[in-house]
Structure 1
């Protein structure tokens, strides 16, 4: 098979091994999520005072989380932009571009002066750099998943699709772990002044490592088949909205992902601020608990991928959603108790078990909603489009609901439980429409096609 996207003669370069392909997918997403979640952690601990000083601490936190949400608004734009490039020119080129963009934006945030030095320009520049981060992540996720799934052998697509999701846990663990380490070895004033910047600027080293690995892989077999036959979509986003089956997949996918996005940003973002500022737990203890939960997540995600191959993507994903919905209120009350070990159990369980089941199965589940020619764009729109309300607005909504309820978690927990019900209904509806998982992967011996999803019954 000729790798037309690479423009090299056949035989001039051996295809990358499965190990190299999965490593390229994993390292790239780890770096991207490390950069992205550094901002989330800093929005909880540093940015309110540095960029949004206010007499009311809640107002400063809301403003900081507001800029966090801006990145999620930019993500669907990045999904459409880079999804178009990925569906038209190839997955690999897009993934190189997104990694460079994310690394540059993150390093510049680490060098950005605060409002005390440059005034209103500080938060404005912060927002602009956050938008660049959002654009990069918007294009990264879909390509990393397709790099894995479109190279997967039959029967192992769920496991391959779970590998880039491990990067989410590793990226979060690195981000919170580095902040915890810096907070432990530095005084509070030193950390607030320059310590947090070290974590952002260090991203340049991680990006360089990721690029070296990612440049070694070729384009995916499924994309090369489409390109060789001249069957690439002219305007993928138009094709997604024009086709009824793709529109249905887009809508159900977004609703299904609502619980996943809300879950992560509750326990991986909002809980850090809530546990330290409201419950007054130790910042280092909370960060270490989130780090432990993220590491358990990284271990559990491939298990979820294996279960998804064996029992079905929707069943595994739906189980994670149900566990989240059933345990969210008890978890909030446990966190509110102020008992450190109880808070640690909550964060580790929610991130390492409930969320891991969802994120480990969702990548392949969403990829199977769309034909190969529009898959990058379609699944990016599902993941990034739903991220606006499911992920980006979650810390803001929970902060506001707790304030309105006088600190009681009933309103916030009730909202999250309702979200879980909506997501479960979407998964059930998806199952009625998509009766079997049949993403073909790299070893499909049949003739090239523009789709791998069975038509609706």
Structure 2
């Protein structure tokens, strides 16, 4: 099947474009809120609730294992929903993924603890986490494409970064809800029922997000592709992805690693390291991430706007390079045990590292794949690399134990992964379309529209 460029067409009205961005943002917010409340809960309270008979370190590792296991089904979800997203459409696929993610997150808030039903408690938690991961696997690629494929070419960096802002909002909501529960509830109340509140609140976002997505149109690129693409043979998107985009698929996979690993180490593992290993109040890292994510809400669209002027690749290289540079200083700053310095480390680490990369990631990756395999391409690169990202808190906790409580093995792990991503981004080149074939097909398409 010959790939073509998205043909020029009338831009969406401002009202329609706002609705598209809002729909992408709502789904992405649900994804990131669910992602971060589970990671925060795994670090703070899952060990005593679901693994009470274990040693503290072993219980923490087991809790982070439930966090990481959800990433095992994300690649499967990415392949399944990527296929339907490329074949059936972005909109209907995203409605399904949102429903799966929202409902499973809500149900996690009702799981009895180990004290109530024994071993079945962590088993049920793990099953729901696996289902949640399956839905999350199809969410990212489509949510990003809903905005980028409907935006003007010269504004795709900025408009594509707006749904990405949901990551910072998701962190702020997740850590904010936990911080409020921690502030207003006693330790016994929090462990008894207070931890369930953040999971129950996901139902509100599910209803709002579903309403918005049901009233969002299909993307312009996808509708155009369906109108003018040849149909002489049908090839599954996953097979065509590796037939025509093998190099870019692997490079996108490698480029994504630094963003995923650094984000989880700074947020999920960082909160636990500060509160458990350094024995400081957990209000300190929670407040630090609240401030960092609030700044990220501004940093993300600003980075997208800059990328439209200097290119997404240069911006991404800066973010990956910063993670290489900051891997060891991050833990040195945390080790001072000074509240202001810890906050500064979390703000700098989060916003100049993963946030910078995340802001331009979907726009950069979109340029690497043809339209009719794009959902699959983004989902594959994102979800398979997310396995390592999701396992990062577990890996970091194990490396911390291996280093007798010293964080230098963790820092070296972040250093190596970030360096690998920097090299992959350096080698990225945009997908080369068949322009001659595109012009001929667009002429035919335009003639049929005019007559």
TM-score (norm 1): 0.90
Alignment of 1:278-293 (within 5 A): 278-293=277-292
Contact 1:16 1:216 in 2 (8 A): no
1:395 corresponds in structure 2 to 393
Alignment of 1:22-421 (within 5 A): 22-229=21-228, 231=230, 234-243=235-244, 246-389=245-388, 391-421=389-419
Alpha-carbon separation, structure 1, partners of 2:52 and 2:240: 46
1:86-136 deviation line (CA, Å, top 9, x unaligned) = 111100001111111111101110000011111111111111110111111
Alpha-carbon separation, structure 2, partners of 1:15 and 1:85: 28
- Residues 379 and 446 of structure 1: CA distance in aligned 2, closer, same or farther (over 3 Å): farther
- How many residues get paired? 427
1:331-381 deviation line (CA, Å, top 9, x unaligned) = 101112221211111111111232221111111111111100000001110
Contact 2:259 2:353 in 1 (8 A): no
Counterpart secondary structure, 1:112: coil
Question: What stretches of structure 1 move > 6 A for 4+ residues in a row?
Answer: none
- Residues 330 and 216 of structure 1: CA distance in aligned 2, closer, same or farther (over 3 Å): same
1:192-212 deviation line (CA, Å, top 9, x unaligned) = 110010110111111101111
1:406-430 deviation line (CA, Å, top 9, x unaligned) = 1222221112111111111111111
Alpha-carbon separation, structure 2, partners of 1:426 and 1:155: 25
Alpha-carbon separation, structure 2, partners of 1:348 and 1:173: 13
Contact 1:225 1:448 in 2 (8 A): no
Structure 2: runs of 5 or more not aligned: 1-12, 444-451
1:454 corresponds in structure 2 to none
The CA RMSD over aligned residues, in Å, is 2.1
Contact 1:231 1:373 in 2 (8 A): no
Contact 2:369 2:431 in 1 (8 A): no
1:191-232 deviation line (CA, Å, top 9, x unaligned) = 111001011011111110111111111111111122234647
Alpha-carbon separation, structure 1, partners of 2:430 and 2:133: 31
Alpha-carbon separation, structure 2, partners of 1:85 and 1:281: 47
Q: CA deviation at 1:446?
A: 8.8
Alpha-carbon separation, structure 1, partners of 2:355 and 2:58: 32
TM-score (norm 2): 0.91
Alpha-carbon separation, structure 1, partners of 2:374 and 2:114: 42
Q: CA deviation at 1:445?
A: 9.8
Structure 1: runs of 5 or more not aligned: 1-13, 450-457
Alpha-carbon separation, structure 2, partners of 1:52 and 1:336: 29
